[in-house]
Amino acid sequence: MNRLKSMDSPCPLIGVSGELKDFNGFDVQAAGHKYVYSVVEAFNGIPIILPALGIPEPKNTSNVLELLNRMDGIVLTGGRANVEPHHYGGEPFRPETHRDPVRDAMTLPLVKSAIELSVPILGICRGIQEINVALGGTLYPYLWEVEGKNDHRMPKTDIMENRFAPRHNISLTADGLFFHIAEKAGINKNQIMVNSLHGQAINKLADGLKIEALSDDGVIEGVSMPKAKSFVVGVQWHAEFRVTEHPFNMALYSEFGDAAKRRAIDRVKRSTAV
């Protein structure tokens, strides 16, 4: 009993998806610092980078389940590489398009298993796309070429603050999860500006997902999964960038953190039960 009492508020363990990168000719498993540190500064989570091992299903299934049983939340990060179109029945990428098949092989089954095991998920940029594809949706592989859509790709600048600066407003779905998060935090729902650094976006929305936010040109900027047993949210913008300085991003992270903390408490109770 004393041990359980001391663990009433454990810090949640958050898996942060990594990717395979080339660093001076060496293959490196990595995740951007801003993703990793955002869970610390937003809600004092303990981040762990999840390597993209590229083990195909069903061989990786038991490993994914074992991993998720130890996690209290998952952050699906952004990245230069895009989800390959064969995962949603699309035409192959052009040769110059960045891709990361080992990450695809890790994160797509990870999403489905995390939902089944009620592990909270926050998908960011590529992460929202992974959630949609894993659940049966499709993507625009070259969004800037779609009629009526703006160019949402990263601004051509080496100045980090300018790359991640707010670029457009989003409109929230009335009475949706994001709407209520903003309302609870006292945020003006009509004045939420976000950044934009993506070349892909959701085309066909997967069954079970709900649109939470749109850009002014109709790009899906946020989704949730109302029937999921835990928190499942994806955003197309980079909410992790200086998260504490953006009121809505901070409110979103806080909701994710609260869900992860609840799972952490339950996990500790299960591990200490006699």
Q: Is the pLDDT of residue 119 over 90?
A: yes
Q: Got the DSSP string for 247-269?
A: HHHHHHHHHHHHHHHHHHHHHHH
Rounding to the nearest 10 degrees, give the CA dihedral for residues 163, 168, 195, 146. -90
Q: If you average pLDDT over residues 65-93, what whole number do you get?
A: 95
- The predicted pLDDT at position 156 comes to 87
Nearest Cα residue to 221 out of 132, 134, 97: 132
Asked if residue 5 is part of any domain, the answer here is no
- The predicted pLDDT at position 268 comes to 86
- Domain extent, residue 146, equals 11-272
Asked if residue 1 is part of any domain, the answer here is no
- Number of domains forming the structure of the chain: 1
Asked if residue 172 is part of any domain, the answer here is yes
- The predicted pLDDT at position 269 comes to 85
Task: Compute the mean pLDDT over every residue in the chain, rounded to the nearest whole number.
Answer: 93
Of 221 and 159, the one with more pLDDT = 221
Q: If you average pLDDT over residues 212-226, what whole number do you get?
A: 98
Q: Is the pLDDT of residue 2 over 60?
A: no
Q: Is the pLDDT of residue 193 over 50?
A: yes
Q: What is the pLDDT of residues 246-270, one digit of tens each?
A: 999 999 999 999 999 999 999 888 8
Q: Is the pLDDT of residue 274 over 90?
A: no
Please tell me the least confidently modeled range out of 24-33, 124-133, 192-201: 24-33
Identify the residue whose tokens are 């039960």: 273
Q: Which residues lie below 8 Å from residue 93, measured CB to CB, with a gap of 6+?
A: 82, 84, 85, 99, 141
Rounded CA-CA distance 165/34 in Å is: 15
- The predicted pLDDT at position 6 comes to 45
Which pLDDT band holds residue 46 (cuts at 50, 70, 90)? very high
Asked if residue 2 is part of any domain, the answer here is no
Asked if residue 26 is part of any domain, the answer here is yes
Q: If you average pLDDT over residues 213-226, what whole number do you get?
A: 98
The number of beta carbons lying within 10 Å of the beta carbon of residue 161 is 9
CATH number at residue 169: 3.40.50.880
Q: If you average pLDDT over residues 2-17, what whole number do you get?
A: 74
Q: Is the pLDDT of residue 8 over 80?
A: no
Q: Is the pLDDT of residue 97 over 50?
A: yes
Q: Counting beta carbons within 10 angstroms of the beta carbon of residue 59, is it exposed (0 to 12), middle (13 to 18) or buried (19 or more)?
A: exposed
Whole-number percent of the chain with pLDDT over 90: 83
Q: If you average pLDDT over residues 193-200, what whole number do you get?
A: 97
Q: What is the pLDDT of residues 125-184, one digit of tens each?
A: 999 999 999 999 999 999 999 999 999 999 988 888 899 999 999 999 999 999 999 999
Asked if residue 36 is part of any domain, the answer here is yes
Q: Would you say how long the chain is, in residues?
A: 274
Please tell me the least confidently modeled range out of 2-6, 151-155, 232-236: 2-6
